[in-house]
Structure 1
Amino acid sequence: MSESTSDTASNTVSFGYENVSPEEKTRRVGEVFSSVAKKYDIMNDAMSFGMHRGWKDRFVKRVKPQAGENILDMAGGTGDIAFRMADRGANITVADINQEMLDVGAERAIERDEAEGAGSLVFSQQNAEEVSFASNSFDAYTIVFGIRNVTHKEKALKEALRVLRPGGRFYCMEFSVTDWSGFREIYDLYSMHIMPRMGQVIAGDTESYRYLAESIRKFPRAPQFEAMIRDAGFVNTKAEIILGGAVAIHSGWKV
């Protein structure tokens, strides 16, 4: 039984390894990111040994942002992806459900030196399941390491399709579990035991990072999530596998 079917039947969704009501998950995810916002990028460096920077560069190369394009970067609060795309001249709307994450991104936008010819940046508090923007508004929709925290992923994917213009492209990068034997066991040990301890040392927060580790293990593997993207109405879908599935870049197009 798929996660979505099981959730519908029991009227609960997963919050890490717990089953909670959809409202409870939304509230608790909000608390997690309010807690980690100030240390989020530092923890990304520590937890991925800096590899997340290369993954994000690779992701933006796949998106191919163009000067003057309008791109919605969902769950992009701290601006890591948005800044990379704005540097290529695209106009980015940075959306996040969590205001604390958006505040961090806005502060960073003020502090960074804008490159000549850079596109614009707008920060907007949005729920990925109920985006306030009009249909057919954006040339591309990106979401990086965020969709696994959305309560109803199918709704978020449908909203992504709705706000894209015909011919618009969808790109998502997300963690899951790896299929590489040997590495899988090391990855499990690291994510479930070392990551929460690092969260305590660096951010003073064990439980939020325990949830983040559990949410990775609960997220669908790349083939299953690609199928969800197709079911939402996207075509020419593709999953680019990194580290045996520990990370995947998903893409699709709106026709």
Structure 2
Amino acid sequence: MRTIVAEMAERLARVPGVVGVALGGSRARGAHRTDSDWDLGVYYRGEVDLAALRALAGPGVEVAGPGDWGPWVNGGAWLTVGGVAVDWILRDLDRVERVWADCREGRYEVGVQVGHPLGFWSPCYAGELALGRLLADPTGELTTLRAGMAVYPEALRTALTAAAWEADFLTAGAVKGAARGDVLYVSLSLSRAIGILVQALHADARRWCLNEKGALAATPPWFAHRAEALLTALGPDPAALTATVTEARTLVADTIAALRE
């Protein structure tokens, strides 16, 4: 399968507009299972030749163009090769470079994107390339860009850890929701608060956080265990919700204190 994917990457790199291809996801990090997808980041500049991509994908495979899948996931295709899922994910290289420049200055965005319940955090663009494995890079552009990402930007670390204050704001607001027995409001508030702290903890460790999948498990055990307990302890009545929110506020305070040390 590795040979098939490598050959596919070489063919993708010859499509007009495509600059290079990188293997991403769990397979790039060596954390995959036997049934894990093969995620190929297809980096392009300007306009990519969608007709050529569709011809390469073959009949019956839908290739989505930039914007078809939302504002942050530019498009791509879902293929099945030999019974194994292979995903093409289009990435606008000009935009990736702009986001990387923002990261180095401590700026980031959190956008609404289908499939990302806690939002799409823009540093993901840099993290994908930093953690990915280049499969095709005929001009060397991806190699050069990736080399600069070897060191996590201190300005981004400072910005993401400082943003942990929002978790305190969210859990403070959840107090009234708990008293009303508003399960949806409380659960969303706690999930987002924990998600923000997860981002902060990853940044504090100078580690890229690409999305929500597996992100909690990669945080320090003292945080992960308490967060898991909170997310599974929500009850339907005000008393249970209030008790959970109280514990959540304690976890938030402890985490912010740890980030400041």
TM-score w.r.t. the length of structure 2 is 0.31
Q: Larger radius of gyration, structure 1 or 2? A: 2
TM-score, normalization: structure 1?
A: 0.31
Higher relative contact order (CA 8 A, sep 6+): 1
